[in-house]
């Protein structure tokens, strides 16, 4: 049977894990399946309204919000705006952001950027973290961005390379201790063992 | 309870949640927590497991809100999909619950005063549409969506070829879409206060 014909079963969550995986791979390449799935998923979700709906225990709401707050305690998204400022302005922004634990330096050297630069560090309970960057121009030929984790009072530790351009999610190598700073610099392709240039972004975890 | 974001659309709330706005998550829970819990309870038949599925579903929303694409579907569909998927994953691990899933769901005590009239109306409409399906299609939809059975399990259970099960699910869902698409059927959240 054609994978194409699995749309209804997928919408109902009636596929086994391997079938669902195959279908999702197909979905990435099949526009008509995506359209059909959107429709059938909406109908499947409507079935949820067909059953009795007793009030959930009152504690559930608080439990969800507490867990959400705990997960995102270290996350401070940057405002979406163009960061076309010079370094002096950036330093002021760092000071202004200190209260919420996040700073951005120098963005890029250009002042003509139109896309908003944002950098968000998400630190999990196990102290592993991701750095999500968008609006950062692709690294020049022969160069790479390198992420760093800088423990309080410690030296920068390499935490991964990324190319920039579009939205990039970097799974930072190692853990991010409390109070650490996460930064990214431009380095020669292949990366460096210590930063050799001023950071283009920094964020405090 | 004060609901400062009550005027916003579901989709706007998801965008706010993507920016770590906790009150947006709270408002989405206030809109869909009850429906999600009822669904999880129907699939799992266990209050504790249902709570877990709802919590995991809403936390998945919180984690991945930035990936939500409004053009691809409604926020309410997405939320219920997240919760349903977790409920189904759990019920497939809990084999002992599977044995009685073919039976009629036990009547859940619902406080008629407390339950919103709007929810009752939606339930009647969905149940009415389900009753209009051929028995085989209704059975396939109910066992899959409310029972958490995979299509292969259904084929085996009902003694039918897999292709037949697929056809029943597809035809049943497509027919439900028509029936629910008739005027007056709007599944999105509306103010009940």
What is the pLDDT, as a whole number, of residue A104?
30
Q: Which residue has the tokens 């699995």?
A: A6
- Note whether residue A174 is domain-resident: yes
pTM: 0.64
A61-100 CB burial, b ≥16 within 10 A, e <16: bebbbeebeebbebbbbbeeeebeeeeeebeebbeebeee
Closest Cβ–Cβ partner in A45, A64, A75 for B80: A45
Chain A segment 44-63 residues within 8 A of B by beta carbon are: 44-57, 60-61, 63
- pLDDT per residue over B72-128, tens digit each? 889 999 999 999 999 999 999 886 555 554 455 545 555 544 557 778 888 999 999
What is the C-alpha separation between A25 and A98, in angstroms, rounded? 43
Pair A101, A183 in one domain:
yes
Pairing of strands A118-123, A129-134: antiparallel
Supply B176's token pair.
């439900």
Supply the DSSP symbol for A201. Answer: E
Query: Among B47, B24, B72, which Cα is nearest to A59's?
Result: B47
- Architecture in CATH of B1-95: Orthogonal Bundle (1.10)
- What pLDDT was estimated at residue A201? 79
Q: Tell me which of 3.40.50.1980, 3.50.50.60, 1.10.10.10, 1.20.120.140 is the CATH number of domain B115-183.
A: 1.10.10.10
Does A143 fall in a domain?
Answer: yes
Least confident of A83-87, A192-196, B78-82: A83-87
| B180 with A43: Cβ contact below 8 A | yes
Q: Would you say residue A60 lies in a domain?
A: no
Q: Which of B122, B24, B6, B30 is nearest to B68 (CA)?
A: B24
pLDDT of residue B64: 92
How do strand A157-162 and strand A143-150 relate by DSSP bridges? antiparallel
Residue A44's CATH number? 1.10.10
Q: Which residue in A has a C-alpha nearest to residue B168's C-alpha?
A: A8
The answer to whether A49 contacts B130, with C-beta atoms less than 8 Å apart, is no
As a whole number, mean pLDDT of residues A160-185 equals 85
Chain B: closest CA distance from residue A200 (Å): 22
Question: Alpha-carbon distance B131 to B32, whole Å?
Answer: 25
Number of domains chain A contains: 2
ipTM: 0.88
Domain that holds residue A11: 3-54
Could you say which residues from 60 to 119 on chain A have a Cβ atom under 8 Å away from some Cβ of chain B? 60-61, 63-65, 67-69, 71-72, 75-77
Give yes or no: residues A85 and A183 share one domain.
yes
A109-123 mean pLDDT: 55
Give domain status of residue A65, yes or no: no
- Over the stretch A131-157, which tens digit does the pLDDT of each residue have? 877 778 888 888 899 999 988 888 889
Following DSSP, what letter does each residue of B6-50 receive, concatenated? TTS-HHHHHHHHHTT-HHHHHHHHHHHHHHHHHHHHHHH--HHHH
Low-confidence residues of chain B: pLDDT under 50: 101-102, 106, 112-113, 183-193
Roughly what angle, to the nearest 10 degrees, separates helices A31-46 and B162-180? 70
The residue-averaged pLDDT of A41-55 equals 94
Verify that A99 and A190 share a domain, yes or no: yes
Identify the residue with better confidence: A160 or A71.
A160
Ranges of CATH 1.10.1740.10 domains, chain B: 1-95
Q: How far apart are the first and last CA of chain A?
A: 50
pLDDT attached to residue B37? 97
Grouping H, G, I as helix, E, B as strand and the rest as coil, residue A39 is helix
User: Do residues A152 and A177 lie in contact, with contact meaning Cβ atoms separated by under 8 Å?
Assistant: yes
A11, A104: one domain: no
Chain A CB within 8 Å of residue B63 CB:
yes
**pLDDT value of residue B181:** 83
Q: Does residue A124 register a pLDDT over 70?
A: yes
């Amino acid at each position: 049977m054609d994978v194409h014909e699995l749309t209804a079963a997928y919408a109902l969550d009636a596929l086994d894990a391997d079938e669902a995986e195959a279908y999702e791979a197909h979905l990435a390449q099949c526009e008509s399946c995506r359209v059909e799935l959107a429709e059938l998923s909406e109908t499947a979700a409507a079935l949820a309204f067909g059953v009795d709906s007793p009030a959930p225990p009152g504690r559930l709401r608080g439990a969800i919000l507490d867990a959400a707050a705990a997960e995102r305690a270290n996350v401070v998204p940057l405002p979406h705006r163009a960061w076309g400022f010079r370094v002096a302005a950036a330093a002021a922004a760092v000071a202004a952001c200190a209260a919420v634990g996040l700073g951005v330096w120098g963005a890029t050297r250009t002042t003509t950027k139109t896309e908003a630069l944002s950098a968000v560090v998400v630190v999990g309970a196990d102290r592993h973290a991701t750095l999500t960057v968008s609006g950062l121009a692709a690294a020049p030929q022969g160069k790479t961005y390198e992420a760093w984790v800088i423990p309080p009072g410690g030296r920068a530790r390499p935490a991964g390379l990324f190319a920039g351009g579009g939205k990039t999610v970097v799974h930072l190598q190692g853990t991010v201790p409390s109070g650490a700073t996460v930064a990214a610099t431009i380095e020669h392709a292949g990366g460096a063992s210590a930063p050799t240039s001023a950071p283009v972004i920094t964020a405090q975890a | 309870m004060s609901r400062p974001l009550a005027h916003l659309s579901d989709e706007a709330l998801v965008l706010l949640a993507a920016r770590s706005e906790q009150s947006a998550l709270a408002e989405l829970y206030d809109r869909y927590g009850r429906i999600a819990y009822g669904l999880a309870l129907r699939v799992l038949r266990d209050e504790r497991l249902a709570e877990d599925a709802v919590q995991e579903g809403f936390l998945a929303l919180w984690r991945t809100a930035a990936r939500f694409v409004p053009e691809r579907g409604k926020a309410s569909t997405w939320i219920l999909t997240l919760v349903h998927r977790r409920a189904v994953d759990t019920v497939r691990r809990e084999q002992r619950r599977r044995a009685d899933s073919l039976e009629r769901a036990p009547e859940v005590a619902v406080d008629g005063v407390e339950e919103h009239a709007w929810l009752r109306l939606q339930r009647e409409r969905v149940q009415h549409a389900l009753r209009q399906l051929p028995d085989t299609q209704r059975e396939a939809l109910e066992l899959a969506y409310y029972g958490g059975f995979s299509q292969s399990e259904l084929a085996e259970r009902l003694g039918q070829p897999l292709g037949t099960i697929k056809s029943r699910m597809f035809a049943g869902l497509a027919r439900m879409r028509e029936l629910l698409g008739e005027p007056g059927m709007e599944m999105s959240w509306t103010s009940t206060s």
